């Protein structure tokens, strides 16, 4: 599984003009499920994301995780968005190939597992799997981190 993790403020996702998920501050996480991923990938990704030390401590150093901040601020959370395009292969031609992305039927199960595991530690809001979504947020920092359960980067 792959994730793009961004430290964010005022993040929301809408579907057909209706807000379906919102956090005041925390992390927005785009999640893509690859062929062959399993429950261990979802568990790894959830643990890694909520424990990434990318929030400032009292000295201004990025030394606190979302789990650390969650207890301090009830408006803090994680906004998880499913995004199969994270598995795009652009090495050949101009049209990305999505052959490395898992089928929607299997991907939704693993995305839901990621959400469930992360929800054990922090508040999680989501978009709607498989829907066309509009995502709005301010990238705080900016901080953007790539995470891959297969540790490809």
The set of catalytic residues is 83-85
The answer to whether the beta carbons of residues 96 and 83 sit under 8 Å apart is no
104-119 helix and 39-51 helix, angle to the nearest 10 degrees: 40
CA dihedral 95, 153, 121, 119 (to 10 degrees): 20
DSSP state of 129: T
How far is residue 59's CA from residue 62's CA, in Å, rounded to a whole number?
9
Tokens matching residue 60 = 């201004």
Question: 3-state DSSP call for residue 125?
Answer: strand
How far is residue 130's CA from residue 152's CA, in Å, rounded to a whole number?
25
Q: Which residues are 9's β-sheet partners? A: 25, 138
């Amino acid at each position: 599984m792959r994730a793009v993790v961004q430290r964010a403020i005022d993040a929301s996702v809408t579907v057909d003009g209706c807000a379906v998920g919102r956090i005041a501050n925390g992390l927005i996480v785009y999640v893509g499920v690859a062929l062959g991923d399993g429950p261990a990938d979802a568990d790894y990704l959830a643990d890694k994301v909520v424990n990434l030390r990318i929030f400032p401590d009292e000295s201004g150093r990025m030394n606190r995780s979302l789990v650390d901040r969650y207890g301090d601020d009830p408006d803090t959370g994680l906004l998880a968005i499913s995004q199969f395009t994270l598995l795009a292969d652009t090495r050949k031609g101009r049209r990305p190939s999505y052959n490395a992305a898992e089928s929607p039927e299997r991907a939704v199960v693993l995305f839901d597992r990621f959400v469930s595991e992360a929800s054990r530690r922090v508040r999680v809001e989501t978009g709607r799997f498989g829907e066309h979504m509009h995502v709005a947020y301010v990238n705080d920092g900016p901080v953007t981190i790539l995470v891959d359960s297969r540790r490809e980067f």
